[in-house]
């Protein structure tokens, strides 16, 4: 499973890239606003740190506008992935870009029917938002299971399921068990993945017992 980090905070991205776990980055207008920085400057820096797909979201709502914005964004770096919303206009823009070999992430997916349309539009990634579905009392992970199952029926669908709006480590392990291709993870949740109290406790005991032996390995 590929791990993307869901942030526009370059300090966090550098730090997490050093773990060797990062395969890409997703940003959105909210995350860019949170960074307080220029969109193009931030993306340029992110693309230089992480070689995998870096999602940059358009803000126009009509296909020609999305295409014009996307064409500016792809010039930033080879690994830019154009992010478009799951609307008819977004799907038209998706088809335009993927037919020209540009990667597209179709975002704001909340139903299996929408995911089907994105695959038909040739999306590189579909982003179903699990946390936001959970927030309104629906089962976000059931949607992931449905999309993975649906896509598996058709060899010619190349769209990867990119689980978004992740709130906790269980979302990630459940998505991996379902066979989702990618998880885009907030930095705090990515850091949580390694934590287990028994690991900390076990290491403490091993180190103190080792100290008693008076030996050194190197």
Q: What is the nearest approach in angstroms of ligand E4P to the Cβ of residue 55?
A: 6
Active-site residue, selected from the candidate residues 2, 75, 83, 211? 83
Distances in Å between the Cα of 20 and the Cα atoms of 23, 52, 64, 203 are 8, 12, 38, 23
- Reported as half-sphere exposure (CB side, CA atoms, 13 A), residue 142 has a value of 6
Alpha-helical (H) ranges within 50-154 are 63-74, 88-99, 112-120, 130-135, 140-152
Please tell me the distance from the alpha carbon of residue 28 to that of residue 107, in angstroms, as a whole number.
9
| Smaller CB separation from ligand E4P, 74 or 166 | 166
Mark whether 83 is an active-site residue: yes
Q: How far is the CB of 186 from ligand E4P (least distance, A)?
A: 7
CB of 58 to ligand E4P, least distance (A): 13
- Which residue's CB is nearer to ligand E4P, number 138 or number 199? 138
Q: How far is the CB of 26 from ligand E4P (least distance, A)?
A: 4
Q: At what angle do helices 169-178 and 140-152 cross, to 10 degrees?
A: 20
Q: Do 73 and 58 meet the contact criterion of CB atoms below 8 Å apart?
A: yes
122 vs 128 by CB, closer to ligand E4P:
128
- Tell me which residues touch ligand E4P (CB under 6 A): 6, 26, 28, 107, 127, 129, 131-132, 164-165, 184
Q: Are strands 24-26 and 104-109 parallel, antiparallel or unpaired?
A: unpaired
Burial annotation 187-217 (CB, 10 A radius, 16+ → b, else e) = bebbeeeeeeeeeeeeeeeeeeeeeeeeeee
121 contacts 147 by C-beta, under 8 angstroms = no
Q: Catalytic positions, please?
A: 83
């Amino acid at each position: 499973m590929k791990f993307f980090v869901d942030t526009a905070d370059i300090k966090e991205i550098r730090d997490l890239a050093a773990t060797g776990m990062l395969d890409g980055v997703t940003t959105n207008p909210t995350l860019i606003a949170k960074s307080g920085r220029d969109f193009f400057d931030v993306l340029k820096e992110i693309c230089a740190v992480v070689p995998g797909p870096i999602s940059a979201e358009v803000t126009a709502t009509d296909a020609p506008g999305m295409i014009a914005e996307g064409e500016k964004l792809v010039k930033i770096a080879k690994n830019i992935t154009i992010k478009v919303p799951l609307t008819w206009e977004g799907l038209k823009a998706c088809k335009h870009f993927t037919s020209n070999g540009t990667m597209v992430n179709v975002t704001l997916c909340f139903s299996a029917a929408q995911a089907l349309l994105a695959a038909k539009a040739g999306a590189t990634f579909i982003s179903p938002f699990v946390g936001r579905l959970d927030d309104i009392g629906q089962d976000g992970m059931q949607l992931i299971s449905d999309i993975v199952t649906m896509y598996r029926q058709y060899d010619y669908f190349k769209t990867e399921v990119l689980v978004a709006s992740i709130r906790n480590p269980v979302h990630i392990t459940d998505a991996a068990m379902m066979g989702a291709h990618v998880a885009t993870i907030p930095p705090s949740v990515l850091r949580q993945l390694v934590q287990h109290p028994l690991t900390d406790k076990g290491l403490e005991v091993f180190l103190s017992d080792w100290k008693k032996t008076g030996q050194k390995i190197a």
